[in-house]
Amino acid sequence: MSDVVGLSAFDAARAIAAGSLSAEELFEVYRARAASDRAAGVDGLNCFTWVAAEPPDAVAASAQAPLEGVPLAVKDLFCTEGVPSQSGSRILEGYLPPYTASVVRRLHSAGVRLLAKTNQDEFAMGSSNENSAFGAVRNPWDRERVPGGSSGGSAAAVAAGLAPWALGTDTGGSIRQPAALCGIVGMKPTYGSVSRYGMIAFASSLDQAGPLTRDVRDAALLLGHMVGHDPCDATSLRFPHTIELPTAERLDGVRLGVPEELAGASSLEGEGIEAGVLDAFRAALARAEELGAQVSDVRLPHAPHALSAYYVIAPAEASSNLARFDGVRYGLRAADAADLLDMYTRTRHDGFGAEVKRRIMLGTYALSSGYYDAYYDRAQRVRTKIAEDFRAAFAQVDLIVTPTAPTVAFKLGEKTADPLAMYLNDFCTVPMSLAGIPAISIPCGLSQGLPVGLQLAGPAFSENRVLDAAHALEQSIGFDGSAVRKRSSLPAPAQGPPLSEILNLPRES
């Protein structure tokens, strides 16, 4: 493996700026690695739905863009002009958008180059990446296991060193849960801080883009170039601060709240959070105390109802958003239809997968007259209660900590026959999504040899505080995912200069 794959995106950007690493070489190393995974199909990790054939043109070389030359993998559902953008669905197979999502354009102006599009659950509906029309993604820690979802391709690619970093989206946990299952960092920012313009919608009041990275500093670096107001998105907000690179090494005075509802052995509707996950979580809490944090219990009384509310609200919004896929404007159109209605019906029958059809039916039902009050309206009331719980909790503590996912990565096929078991994956992440608040997942240890994620959440726009605390914990935990990157049997086409040279470090004698 070429040494450059060992660099974080931050270090790669710095080395390029210092002239000790060529952007072309960096791009080619990752391009070849991603292309070989793509060529291996289901024998690889199946992370990608498209890989660049050559480096895209650099933005004006004189620009000295801050992220100049760093390659980026982007979840399939971000529209990228002239590049397939299919949201993991047969119904959009081969769709080439005429424009690029605002957040991708923003990053492009900061200097990143589009390396690849990543595999995902169809329309971001799923927790295992098994709902993709383009085949399941495998977890680089254990190929027989899922990478999580729906941003599973992005998470697996970063964990396996096939991309330095990646974009994902999170509606109920789709950045944080795959980050946890693949042993990397994933952050969902405050709702509205990153433009949704050009993101193929799942549930518009919940969808947010965010970074999937190897470490917290890279997450801050990428997120800092993603946030900002966009007039093309009516829900876009002006982020009130600059996102700083985190430096904290201590947690003195930081009040961490642990909600029994999301972090207790008896939470999760009696199923409980896996013992190994709880052990790693508690060990991380002990470490936080050693770093000076005050850890206390906090209550989120309505959080156990979040999943039920989410599975009314998200499908309701999806059923409306997905009405546009009718064979007229985008992607697939069923051939030989008898008339217009037959064309609509057959296109949607052939184009959507089973989970998407299930959500459309659920959502249409919940919104139909006679059921609207009983389901949709009630779910919205629960959502308000959950947001109020968080507000009350943040009057007592600075940040809330929970495990990210109730289990480590599970076996491919283990939960596909039981949608409810699959939905429980997001038990700890959905409450923050409903409340629109920022949350990060960092790896906090191993259970059964597989990574465990720890989630830190804060009030709206507290990204800097969340990132700082995550950084301090990360430094102290010292989780090392490099073995998984090295284990990747992919060819190393270009042998780069030694790390010490790239980073301008003194040579070891």
For residue 368, indicate whether it is catalytic. Answer: no
Smallest distance from ligand GLN to CB 121, Å: 7
Q: Which of residues 289-308 bind ligand GLN (CB under 6 A)?
A: none
Q: State both tokens at 486.
A: 């090295």
- List 2, 154, 174, 462, catalytic entry: 174
For residue 486, indicate whether it is catalytic. Answer: no
* Position with the least CB separation from ligand GLN: 174
Smallest distance from ligand GLN to CB 454, Å: 18
CA of 498: how far to CAs of 35, 160, 299, 502, in Å? 24, 20, 51, 7
Q: Which of 26, 79, 300, 314 binds ligand GLN (CB under 6 A)?
A: 314
Nearer to ligand GLN, 89 or 171 (CB): 171
Nearer to ligand GLN, 170 or 468 (CB): 170
Nearer to ligand GLN, 60 or 417 (CB): 417
Question: x/- binding map, residues 97-136, to ligand GLN, per CB under 6 A?
Answer: ---------------------------xxxx---------
Nearer to ligand GLN, 4 or 362 (CB): 362
Question: x/- binding map, residues 186-225, to ligand GLN, per CB under 6 A?
Answer: ----------------x-----------------------
CA of 497: how far to CAs of 9, 20, 23, 161, 501, in Å? 17, 9, 13, 17, 6
351 binds ligand GLN (CB under 6 A): no
Residues 6+ away with beta carbon under 8 Å from 113:
23, 27, 52, 55, 56, 58, 69, 70, 71, 72
Smallest distance from ligand GLN to CB 169, Å: 6
Smallest distance from ligand GLN to CB 12, Å: 28
Smallest distance from ligand GLN to CB 156, Å: 16
Nearer to ligand GLN, 120 or 267 (CB): 120
Nearest in space to 330 (alpha carbons), one of 119, 97, 88, 122: 97
For residue 104, give the amino acid letter.
Answer: V
CA of 72: how far to CAs of 30, 46, 213, 295, in Å? 10, 17, 10, 37
Nearer to ligand GLN, 80 or 171 (CB): 171
The whole-angstrom separation of Cα 446 and Cα 265 is 18
For residue 204, indicate whether it is catalytic. Answer: no
Q: At 75, is the secondary structure helix, strand, or coil?
A: strand
Residue count, binding to ligand GLN (CB under 6 A): 13
Smallest distance from ligand GLN to CB 172, Å: 3
Question: x/- binding map, residues 418-437, to ligand GLN, per CB under 6 A?
Answer: --------x-----------
Phi and psi torsions of 61, nearest 5°:
-60, -25
Phi and psi torsions of 145, nearest 5°:
-115, 160
Q: Which of residues 129-188 bind ligand GLN (CB under 6 A)?
A: 150, 170-174
Q: State both tokens at 246.
A: 């985190």
Nearer to ligand GLN, 111 or 173 (CB): 173
Element (H, E) at 363: helix 354-367
47 and 104 Cβ atoms separated by less than 8 Å: no
CA 137 to chain CA centroid, nearest Å: 14
Q: Which contacts qualify for 204-208: CB closer than 8 Å, 24 or more apart?
A: 204/235, 204/317, 204/321, 205/235, 205/313, 205/317, 206/171, 206/172, 206/310, 206/313, 206/314, 206/317, 206/433, 206/434, 207/124, 207/169, 207/170, 207/171, 208/169, 208/170, 208/171, 208/433
Nearer to ligand GLN, 114 or 318 (CB): 318
- List 89, 128, 132, 150, catalytic entry: 150
Smallest distance from ligand GLN to CB 459, Å: 21
Reduced DSSP (H G I as helix, E B as strand, rest coil) percent helix, strand, coil of the chain, to 5: 40, 15, 45
Nearer to ligand GLN, 120 or 488 (CB): 120
Nearest in space to 17 (alpha carbons), one of 111, 92, 144, 104: 111
Smallest distance from ligand GLN to CB 312, Å: 12
Smallest distance from ligand GLN to CB 98, Å: 25
Phi and psi torsions of 396, nearest 5°:
-105, -30
Q: At 15, is the secondary structure helix, strand, or coil?
A: helix
Strand runs labelled E in 226-274: 255-259
Element (H, E) at 425: none
Residues 6+ away with beta carbon under 8 Å from 424:
268, 269, 271, 307, 406
Residues marked active site are found at: 75, 150, 174
Summarize as ranges the residues that interact with ligand GLN (CB under 6 A): 124-127, 150, 170-174, 202, 314, 426
